[in-house]
Chains A and B, each alone.
Chain A
């Protein structure tokens, strides 16, 4: 066994890869060879650490020094200072906020302190392309325990007792789903396990990070599920837009097969199980379970009415156990540490943790995992590090296009499935977008509806036509052509779509509109009645105005205006012709005295 005195961990998640971590790894390896250190220092490419905002992230052990935003030109210094002389390169060490002490170790970061990592325990810790590292972190121990000491029904009972609920959005009890599939019968006795990795919500990347950072966990978990429900074949349906995830999962499946951890007669138990990857072509609706199964079968990705539920008639008309990536990622730990341990984390009806992709107007954009019951305030201000530029929190949007907004008055809401549903939002798959005073809530609703309208498969009229009509009304409101009664029309349409759409996509599509109307009705009214956008986002509703009392008459704005909409005489107040004005904002930027306002 090789002994390394130090290990350098580089994040190879999608976030850091796009900020250049692959090139960093190459340069680092070259530098190590140059200094004759390649046998002393090991370079490990890991999955996502969660702080994507600060990428590329580099951690050096045994000290655990946390470097952020490392550039190619920094590597030489890192090697010569830190690795050779043992002096951390202070200027690259991550510090929280201005003037703070630099933080030398990862665990001291506020970002990590409030987190509880179960699903992400190995992400950013192990090398996802090395099965031995997964084994070393207790990998495949749960599978061994299940195949050697448990009956299928015992496995299902454990999952039931843990209280685990589906992490893909709906929150259906996972143990029950497994039980239904276990109990279901069909003529030839064939059953399937399917992992839904078709993560499509804008801004969400929880599942991607698990597949990239800890792919073996999904393989182990699906094999356990196969044993529990009586299936011998599994499919992972993953988006083709996740090339790193697909590649690492493929490597992991091959390694597991070579070690005999999947395949025939696993651990001489007589149980056979194998896995295949299927790529999705980017249709949002294919995240819906029945549409996903049609897509795997090679048919058009459209949902069908339920029942029959997939547990009875799913993939290829056989009983199918379909779970989301994050749901599966909880299973090995539940088996290893026991249902009681898992049930001790979280709230009464929502057990365990939830991974969120935090984005929008927030300082620490990234991936975090919190115990259920953590408040929104803790997420935004303690883990997320607050809102940039001293702006004021307005709302948080959870559940992506299917979810809703949580206003400031509910910052102390404890996050779990039932609380979120009660306030008109939903857990969803885990996107969490923070909005500040500069976000227009009508525009946000329009954005999400534009997305679902675009992604509607068109099979059922409520979704195909209903969302289109809603979008038209919203666009009208944003354009300053809103009419009395538009809010009521939106609500009526929303309720009938929710009741009559075929699948989850349509049923939840009106949620962003309903929840913004519920909490920000005054903004809608300002758009419709006063033709005014309070946040200053909707272009057609903006008016630019020069304050005649403070204008010095310098004329700079008139020279900068690309539309010749500003006129006046030197040393006298200038005036904007609102008919000609194209609302580009060039005059505000140009004015040296700050006398031009927008509103």
Chain B
């Protein structure tokens, strides 16, 4: 192998660092996908798959992607929750791969909540966004 130049070494360091940040904590969004039995049955796996692909394709090295158990509103699965660095969260319901792509583009990259995929609460009842 050819000897690496200093610049090349710096590049390796930078790239690998962002990859490893998983172990040291990141500063950006934290995306959590509900992956309990209900989530998986409702199609959470393709959503997770899409999120991984999109995050990787767009080099969103600051984003943490994690899975979680049942959140309790199984009928709204697949659920995806996005935490901002301050810990505030937005819950997206009835997700699918197409919606996941839009979530990445608008929310994670554009810092804009995709309101149409969130829940709406009227008189204390969660209104299903699909029927809405």
Contact = CB atoms under 8 A, between A and B. Distances in A.
Contacts of B16: 132-133, 135-136
Interface of B: 1, 3-4, 6, 9, 12-13, 15-20, 22-23, 25, 35-37, 40, 48-49, 52, 55-56, 59, 61, 64-69
Given A85-B69, A133-B16, 16 more contacts: A1-B18, A1-B56, A3-B56, A5-B67, A40-B48, A62-B25, A84-B67, A87-B36, A126-B20, A132-B13, A133-B20, A135-B12, A137-B17, A139-B13, A260-B3, A261-B4
Contacts of B18: 1
Interface of A: 1-7, 9, 39-40, 61-64, 83-87, 125-126, 132-133, 135-140, 144, 258-261, 263, 267
Contact of A86 (B19, B23, B69): B69
Contacts of A125: 23
Nearest to A59: B23
Contacts of B12: 132, 135-136
A106 to B, nearest CB: 10
Nearest to B24: A125
B68 A62 contact: no
Contacts of A258: 1
B56 A86 contact: no
A259 B40 contact: no
Q: B-side binding surface: helix, strand, loop or mixed? A: helix
A39 B49 CA distance: 10
B23 to A, nearest CB: 5
Contacts of A133: 16, 20
Contacts of B66: 5-6, 62-63, 86
Given A86-B68, A132-B12, A136-B16, A7 B23 contact: yes
A139 B16 CA distance: 12
A140 B18 CA distance: 18
Contacts of B6: 144, 267
A85 B36 contact: yes
A87 B36 CA distance: 8
Nearest to A259: B4
A442 B115 CA distance: 77
B4 A260 contact: yes
A60 to B, nearest CB: 10
B19 A136 contact: yes
A263 to B, nearest CB: 7
Nearest 7 CB-CB pairs, A to B?
A260-B3, A136-B16, A3-B56, A86-B67, A5-B65, A136-B17, A258-B1
A137 B69 contact: no
A7 B22 contact: yes
Contact of A135 (B3, B9, B23, B69): B9
7 contacts: A2-B56, A6-B66, A7-B23, A40-B48, A85-B37, A87-B69, A259-B3
Nearest to B23: A61
B19 A2 contact: yes
A50 B15 CA distance: 28
A65 to B, nearest CB: 11
A259 B9 contact: yes
B108 to A, nearest CB: 13
A135 B37 contact: no
